[in-house]
Structure 1
């Protein structure tokens, strides 16, 4: 079997099962596990999947630049945002990061709600600039241009001095064993810092981000208290995180 044919079969199997293993592919393709591992590495280098120990999982199909994500599945984000707002209580300190879904939440916070928002997201600040009762604390740092957020030492120092009641975490990828991951190292460090100082971590994830993985680790799935997803993602999330203690909304 030609290498290109193996690639097509691997990607087809991954699309159907959302994961592949070295052992199963070796038997299916009638090649050694070494050959399969080499194929998975090459497909990873091409950005078509994420090789992990013992096999591979998909990459998240979500666009990476903020402007491309802004109108991506906007109706689904609105549904997730409405669920999220119901969890916010007056007087809380609420952390928002760079996600467009987090911005959707900020945009529908009631005008009479009194909370403190901490964020490194310019779009979240812009949305809340005219809100009459929400106090906004913005994390300085270096601009991460593709996400319109701040990153770096100053951003990390800011968040390490915060104690948040809720962290609405925009998800790039979440997997039950690999954990929560993203495509940018500095962004992963900021998200990791916010997780560490938050009482409750709420992951905002459309269904296609579940059971996917990227290069940079943020936290284990067990650090997440709640996953808010779309209607299509509820059954998938309930199955994926069964017996984990994670609530699914």
Structure 2
């Protein structure tokens, strides 16, 4: 079997099974594990999958830069944002993560909502600048341009002085075994810090993120209150999350 054929089979297996186990695929094809691992490395280098111990998982499309992500799953993100906005109560202190779904959530907040929103995202702050009754607090730091959020030691120190009712967390991957992941270690640390300073954490998880994985864990699935997804999310992926003990809201 040619390399191109093997790679097509690997990607097809990822779509149908949600994972590839190198040992099993090598045995099925009568090839060495080294051959399959080489194919996985090359596909990972092209951003087509995420390598894990023993095989691979689907790569998240949400690792693209902020501008590119604005065109991904816009309807699904709006649905997730509406569900999330309905959970916010007057008087709460709410942390909004950066990202395109969180920006949509900011747009969906009721015009009469009285609450405090804390964010390390300039784009979120700008969205809420004209909201008449939401107080906005911005956490600063080094600008991580990929996601247009503050990161680094300054941001981390400021977060450590905050206590919030609820954190709306954005991630690039939501997987029943890999957990909640994102593509940058520093950004993962900031997200983790927000979750630790919040009484509840809801994950903004539009369907393209479910079943996918990225390189850096944010928090374990057990650490969050629920995953909010859209009605078009893959039923198998949602069922696997629920089987892992995760509450999924849609």
TM-score (normalised: structure 1): 0.93
1:213 paired residue number: 213
1:141 paired residue number: 141
After superposition, give the CA deviation of every residue in 1:12-49 in whole Å (9 maximum; x if it has no partner).
Answer: 21122221112320122211223322322232223221
Distance, in Å, in 1 between the alignment partners of 2:237 and 2:35 is 33
What pairs with 1:173-188 in structure 2 (closer than 5 Å)?
Answer: 173-188=173-188
In structure 2, the gaps of 5 or more residues are none
What pairs with 1:145-160 in structure 2 (closer than 5 Å)?
Answer: 145-160=145-160
- Counterpart contact for 1:234–1:248, Cα < 8 Å: no
After superposition, give the CA deviation of every residue in 1:146-194 in whole Å (9 maximum; x if it has no partner).
Answer: 2221111111111111112111111211111111111122211111111
SS of 1:241's equivalent in the other structure is helix
Q: CA RMSD in A?
A: 1.7
Deviation, 1:245, is: 3.5
Distance, in Å, in 2 between the alignment partners of 1:62 and 1:239 is 21
Deviation, 1:63, is: 5.8
Distance, in Å, in 2 between the alignment partners of 1:245 and 1:29 is 35
SS of 2:211's equivalent in the other structure is coil
How many residue pairs get aligned? The number is 249
Deviation, 1:121, is: 0.8
Deviation, 1:59, is: 0.4
What pairs with 1:32-111 in structure 2 (closer than 5 Å)?
Answer: 32-62=32-62, 64-111=64-111
- Counterpart contact for 1:93–1:166, Cα < 8 Å: yes
Deviation, 1:215, is: 1.2
In structure 1, the gaps of 5 or more residues are none
Q: Is residue 235 from structure 1 mapped to residue 229 from structure 2 by the alignment?
A: no
1:2 paired residue number: 2
TM-score (normalised: structure 2): 0.93
SS of 2:242's equivalent in the other structure is coil
Segment of structure 1 superposing worse, 11-20 or 238-247: 238-247
SS of 1:56's equivalent in the other structure is strand
Q: 1:177 to 1:46 in 2, by over 3 A?
A: same
2:26 paired residue number: 26
Deviation, 1:237, is: 4.4
Q: Is residue 116 from structure 1 mapped to residue 109 from structure 2 by the alignment?
A: no
Distance, in Å, in 2 between the alignment partners of 1:136 and 1:81 is 18
1:167 paired residue number: 167
Distance, in Å, in 2 between the alignment partners of 1:54 and 1:72 is 30
- Counterpart contact for 1:99–1:169, Cα < 8 Å: no
SS of 1:117's equivalent in the other structure is strand
After superposition, give the CA deviation of every residue in 1:113-160 in whole Å (9 maximum; x if it has no partner).
Answer: 111111011111001111122111111101112222111111111111
After superposition, give the CA deviation of every residue in 1:189-239 in whole Å (9 maximum; x if it has no partner).
Answer: 111111111211111112121111111221112222211111121734431
Distance, in Å, in 1 between the alignment partners of 2:63 and 2:56 is 21
Q: 1:235 to 1:10 in 2, by over 3 A?
A: closer
